Amino acid sequence: MFDTSRKNSKEKVVITAAVVGAIPSKNDNPNLPTQPKEIAEAVFKCYEAGAAVAHIHVRDDNDAGSMSIEKFTETVNIIRDAKCPIILNLTTSGAVGATEADRLRPFSELLPEIATFDAGTMNWMHKVVFENSPSFLEKLGQTTIEKGVKPEIEIFDMGMLNNAKYYIKKGILQEPCIFQICLGAPGGMDATVDNLLFVVDHLPENCTWGTFGIGKGANEILLAGLALGGNIRVGFEDNVFYNKGVLAESNAQFVSRVVRIAAEVGRAPATPDEAREILGLGGKK
The answer on pLDDT for 215 being more than 80 is: yes
Quick one: average pLDDT of 104-128? 96
Residue 179: inside a domain: yes
Q: With respect to residue 285, please indicate whether it lies within any of the assigned structural domains.
A: no
The answer to whether position 64 is within a domain reads yes
Tens digit of each residue's pLDDT (9 = 90 or more) over 129-157: 999 999 999 999 999 999 999 999 999 99
- b (16+ CB within 10 A) / e for 186-209: eebbebbbebbeebbeebbeebbb
The pLDDT tens digits of the residues spanning 48-81 come to: 999 999 999 999 999 999 999 999 999 999 999 9
* pLDDT band, residue 284 (cuts 50/70/90): very low
Where residue 283 falls among pLDDT bands split at 50, 70, 90?
A: low
Cis peptide before 176 (omega within 30 of 0): yes
The Cα 162–Cα 143 span in angstroms is 21
Residue 175 included in any domain: yes
- Is the confidence at residue 278, as pLDDT, over 50? yes
Residue 224 belongs to a domain: yes
If pLDDT is split at 50, 70 and 90, which confidence band does 2 have?
low
CATH of the domain at 274: 3.20.20.70
pLDDT at 43 over 50: yes
Burial class (CB within 10 angstroms; exposed 0-12, middle 13-18, buried 19+) of 81: exposed
Domain assignment present for 164: yes
- State mean pLDDT over 168-178: 98
In a domain, 5, yes or no: no
Q: Is residue 141 classed exposed, middle or buried when 0-12, 13-18 and 19+ CB atoms within 10 A define those classes? A: buried
Mean pLDDT of 197-219: 96
Number of domains comprising the chain = 1
Band (285; pLDDT cuts 50, 70, 90): very low
Domain that holds residue 193: 12-279
269 inside domain: yes
What is the pLDDT, as a whole number, of residue 130? Answer: 94
**Whether pTM exceeds 0.95:** yes
Residue % of the chain over a pLDDT of 90:
94
Contact in structure between 154 and 160 (CB atoms under 8 Å): yes
| Mean pLDDT within 223-231 | 97
Any idea what the Cα angle at residue 275 is, between residues 269 and 277, rounded to 5°?
140
Residue 29 has pLDDT above 60, yes or no: yes
Q: Are 213 and 234 in contact (CB under 8 A)?
A: no
> DSSP letter string over the chain?
---TTTTS-SSEE-EEEE---SS--TTT-TT---SHHHHHHHHHHHHHHT-SEEEE-EE-TTS-EE--HHHHHHHHHHHHHTT--PEEEE-S--STT--HHHHHHHHHHH--SEEEEE-S-EEETTTEEE---HHHHHHHHHHHHHHT-EEEEEESSHHHHHHHHHHHHHTSS-SSEEEEEEE--BTB--S-HHHHHHHHHTS-SSEEEEEEE-GGGHHHHHHHHHHTT-EEEESTTT-SEEETTEE-S-HHHHHHHHHHHHHHTT-EEPPHHHHHHHHT-TT--
